[in-house]
Amino acid sequence: MMQESGTETKSNGSAIQNGSSGGNHLLQCGSLREGRSNGETPAADAGAAELVHVQQQQQALQVARQLLLQQQQQQQVSGLKSPKRNDKQPALQVPVSVAMMTPQVITPQQMQQILQQQVLSPQQLQVLLQQQQALMLQQQQLQEFYKKQQEQLQLQLLQQQHAGKQPKEQQQVATQQLAFQQQLLQMQQLQQQHLLSLQRQGLLTIQPGQPALPLQPLAQGMIPTELQQLWKEVTSAHSAEETTGSNHSSLDLTTTCVSSSAPSKTSLIMNPHASTNGQLSVHTPKRESLSHEEHPHSHPLYGHGVCKWPGCEAVCEDFQSFLKHLNSEHALDDRSTAQCRVQMQVVQQLELQLAKDKERLQAMMTHLHVKSTEPKAAPQPLNLVSSVTLSKSASEASPQSLPHTPTTPTAPITPVTQGPSVITTTSMHTVGPIRRRYSDKYNVPISSDIAQNQEFYKNAEVRPPFTYASLIRQAILESPEKQLTLNEIYNWFTRMFAYFRRNAATWKNAVRHNLSLHKCFVRVENVKGAVWTVDEVEFQKRRPQKISGNPSLIKNMQTSHAYCTPLNAALQASMAENSIPLYTTASMGNPTLGNLASAIREELNGAMEHTNSNESDSSPGRSPLQAVHPVHVKEEPLDPEEAEGPLSLVTTANHSPDFDHDRDYEDEPVNEDME
C-alpha cells in the first residue's frame, strides 16, 4: 500500500487515442555508445597534438615578431617618422582578412546540426567543443597580433613608397610579413585538420556551399587587393634584385592568398586537389609523417620521433632517448597504471565498435543486395551529404516541432542503424533531424540515456529525444515513492533538462495534456493533494512496433542490448576517473549505474515482452507488477499476459540521492551559460 487510493478521475479512459502510446526512444544503445567511444579518444589526442602545434606556431611567431620589431627600429632610426597607428589611411588600409583569421570554431549552425544528429554522445561533444575553444583562443591571440603587425607593416610600406626608400628593406619587411602569413597558414592548417578530424568522426558535416565553414579562407581575399597592388609595385620595381628562392616562395604565398581574384597569377602553393576539399597542401611535418612506419626501432609507443604514450607526445631524438624517456616518464606508477587502464577501456570500446560496425556493414550489404529495389531504400532517416536534403529536412523539422525554441535543436538521437540505406561514410554521420520522438521500447532506455547524459541535458538546451510520456514516466519512476505531483513533475523537467527551462507554458501544457491523455498515468488523490503515478501495464501496452514478429530484428535488438553491457563497463571506466572504482557494478550503490543496469534489463524485458508475447517467458527477473508498483485503479482488467512487471521498478532502490524535490527552476529562463 503506497498511498490511499483516491478518486482518480481518469475520465479520459475513453480517449480514442488511448494511452497506449508511450514515449519512445530510438537510440540503439550500440550506435550511440559506440559513436562516442569511437570518437572520444582520438579526438582528444588530435586536439592535444594540435594544441602543441599551436604553441609551437606561437613561438615561431614570437621570433618573427621580434625580427619585425628590429626591422621597425632600424627604419625609425634611419629617419622615418613613426606614424601614429591610428593614422590609417582608408585607401591603403589592409584589413586582416576575416575569412582567414576567423577561428574555425564550430558555428552555431554546425553545433545545432551536431546536436540534432547526436551521432556522438553529449559528453564527447563537450570535450570536442572545449578543444575547439582552446584552439580558438590561441588563434584569437594570434589574430590580434597579426592585425597589429599587418597594420605596422602597411604603414611602413606606405612610408617607404612615399619616401622612395630602398626596396631591399622593404623586401625584408615583406618577408617578415610573409613569414607571419606562413605561420598563420600553418595555424589554419591545424585548424583544418582539427575540423577534418571532427568530420571524420561524424561530428561535422561539411556541406557544399555552407558559408559558415571557412574552408577556403586562404583562397579568398586573404590579402586585399590593395596589398596585392602594393606587392606588385614593389616586386616589379625591384625584380632584378630579389630572385632568391625565399622571396619567390614568399611571393607565391602572397599570390596564393589572392588567388581567388587572380587565379592565374603565379604558381599556387595550395594543392589544387586539396583545395577542392578545403584542405590545404601545406602540411605540418608531424602530420605528414604519421602515415609511414619505417623506423628501424619499431616500438608501438614510439614513432616519428615522438613518444606515443597517450597524452605524452614527447619528442625523442632517437630510439635510445625514447627508451630513456619511457623508463623515466612512464614508469610503473599510479599515473601510468591509470593511463593503462584507460587505454584498455579504449581498446575494448574500439573492439566493440569494430565488431558492431562489421555487423552493420554486413547487414547493409545484405540489405542492399537482397532488396535494393525496395522503395524505402533511401528513405527519411538519412539525409545524405547533400545540403539540399539536409536543409529541407531541417526546415521541416524545426518550425513544427519547436516553434517555441527556434534556437535550440530538436535532438532526436538518430542511430545510424536505423537507416540501413546509408551508402557513404560521411552520410553515416549526417542523419538529419527528425521530428519524431523515439520509442524507449526497443532501443536505449530513457533512464540510461538520461543517466549518461545527465550533465549534458542539464546544461545544453537540447531537447531530449523522448516523448513527453516517457519523460513523465521517468520522472515519476525516479521519485522515491513512484509518485509525483504535477508541480514536482514540472520541477523534474526543469531540473533535468535545460531545454525545459524555457517556454514553460508550452511544455507544461503538454505535460498536463499527456498526463490526462494517456491511461498509463494515473492520478491519485493523496493527503497533500493529487499525485500522479505510472501504470506500467498501460505503459507497456503501447502499440507494438513492426519489430514484433521479425526474428532477425529481434535478434538484432538483443544484440544491441548485449552491447549495452560492456558499454556499461566503459561508462564505469569513465567514472573511475572520478575516483569511482573501476568495474564497479550497479549493485554497489551507484545510482546512475543502477539505473542504467536496471534500465537495460527493463528494456530487454519489455522488448521480449512484446516480441515473445506468446511465449511463457518466465524469466526469474520478472515480478508481478502489483507486487512492486502502486497502481491503484485500473479501468481495464489486468491482462495476465501483460501483467509481467517490468524490471524498471527495480530502480527504486537506486534512487538518486541528490534528487532534490525542492529545487525548482520555475519558469524563468535560465541563463544560457550554465557551463
Contacts with DNA, residue ranges (CB under 7 A): 9-12, 15, 17-18, 20-24, 380-381, 396-397, 400-404, 434-437, 439, 466-469, 485-487, 490, 503, 505-507, 509-510, 512-517, 523, 529-530, 532, 542-543, 545-546
Residue number, 37 or 447, with CB nearest to DNA: 447
The C-alpha atoms of residue 284 and residue 183 are separated, in whole angstroms, by 11
Contact 557, 547 (CB under 8 A): yes
Residue number, 138 or 467, with CB nearest to DNA: 467
Least separation in angstroms between residue 15's CB and DNA is: 6
Residue number, 11 or 267, with CB nearest to DNA: 11
Residue number, 238 or 661, with CB nearest to DNA: 661
Residue number, 100 or 524, with CB nearest to DNA: 524
Residue number, 272 or 529, with CB nearest to DNA: 529
The C-alpha atoms of residue 327 and residue 320 are separated, in whole angstroms, by 11
Name the DSSP class of 411: -
Q: What does R_g of the chain's alpha carbons equal in angstroms?
A: 30
Q: What residues are paired with 525 via a beta bridge?
A: 530
Residue number, 168 or 392, with CB nearest to DNA: 392
Least separation in angstroms between residue 438's CB and DNA is: 9
Residue 225 CB neighbours (<10 A): 11
Cα dihedral sign, 534-655-454-443: negative
Residue number, 171 or 526, with CB nearest to DNA: 526
Least separation in angstroms between residue 397's CB and DNA is: 6
Contact 446, 23 (CB under 8 A): yes
Least separation in angstroms between residue 380's CB and DNA is: 4
* 109-147 exposure pattern, b = at least 16 Cβ within 10 A, e = fewer: ebbbbbbbbbbbbbbbbebbbebbeebbebbeebbebbe
Q: Quick check: helix, strand or coil at residue 302?
A: strand
Residues in the chain: 675
The C-alpha atoms of residue 467 and residue 525 are separated, in whole angstroms, by 25
- Single-letter code of the amino acid located at 243: T
Residue number, 283 or 543, with CB nearest to DNA: 543
Residue number, 472 or 569, with CB nearest to DNA: 472
Closest alpha carbon to 137 in 47, 60, 198, 202: 47
The per-residue DSSP string of 11-76 comes to GGGG-TT-TT---B----HHHHHHHHHHHHHHHHHHHHHHHHHHHHHHHHHHHHHHHHHHHHHHHH
* 159-181 exposure pattern, b = at least 16 Cβ within 10 A, e = fewer: bbbeeebebebbbbbbbbbbbbb
Residue number, 9 or 327, with CB nearest to DNA: 9
Residue number, 13 or 208, with CB nearest to DNA: 13
Least separation in angstroms between residue 546's CB and DNA is: 4
Residue number, 469 or 570, with CB nearest to DNA: 469
Least separation in angstroms between residue 662's CB and DNA is: 14
Least separation in angstroms between residue 359's CB and DNA is: 21
Least separation in angstroms between residue 33's CB and DNA is: 22
Least separation in angstroms between residue 31's CB and DNA is: 16
The C-alpha atoms of residue 136 and residue 104 are separated, in whole angstroms, by 7
The C-alpha atoms of residue 278 and residue 541 are separated, in whole angstroms, by 52
Q: How far apart are the first and last CA of the chain?
A: 42
Residue number, 82 or 400, with CB nearest to DNA: 400
Closest alpha carbon to 656 in 444, 495, 469: 495
Residue in this structure with the C-alpha cell 512484446, named with its chain if needed: 610
Instruction: Report residue 8 as a C-alpha cell.
Output: 482518480
How far is Cα of residue 243 from the mean position of the Cα atoms in its chain?
A: 49
- Single-letter code of the amino acid located at 220: Q
| 576, containing H or E segment | helix 551-576
Name the DSSP class of 524: E
Least separation in angstroms between residue 604's CB and DNA is: 19
The C-alpha atoms of residue 359 and residue 567 are separated, in whole angstroms, by 17
Q: What residues are paired with 307 via a beta bridge?
A: 302
Q: What residues are paired with 24 via a beta bridge?
A: 439
Contact 410, 398 (CB under 8 A): yes
Cα-based angle 431, 435, 437 (whole degrees, multiple of 5)? 100
Least separation in angstroms between residue 8's CB and DNA is: 7
Least separation in angstroms between residue 485's CB and DNA is: 6
Angle at which helices 122-163 and 167-200 cross, to 10°: 170
Residue number, 53 or 437, with CB nearest to DNA: 437
Least separation in angstroms between residue 428's CB and DNA is: 17
Residue number, 135 or 411, with CB nearest to DNA: 411
Instruction: Report residue 117 as a C-alpha cell.
Output: 544528429
Half-sphere CA count of 597, side-chain side, radius 13 A: 21
Least separation in angstroms between residue 395's CB and DNA is: 9
Least separation in angstroms between residue 400's CB and DNA is: 4
The C-alpha atoms of residue 81 and residue 167 are separated, in whole angstroms, by 18
Least separation in angstroms between residue 46's CB and DNA is: 33
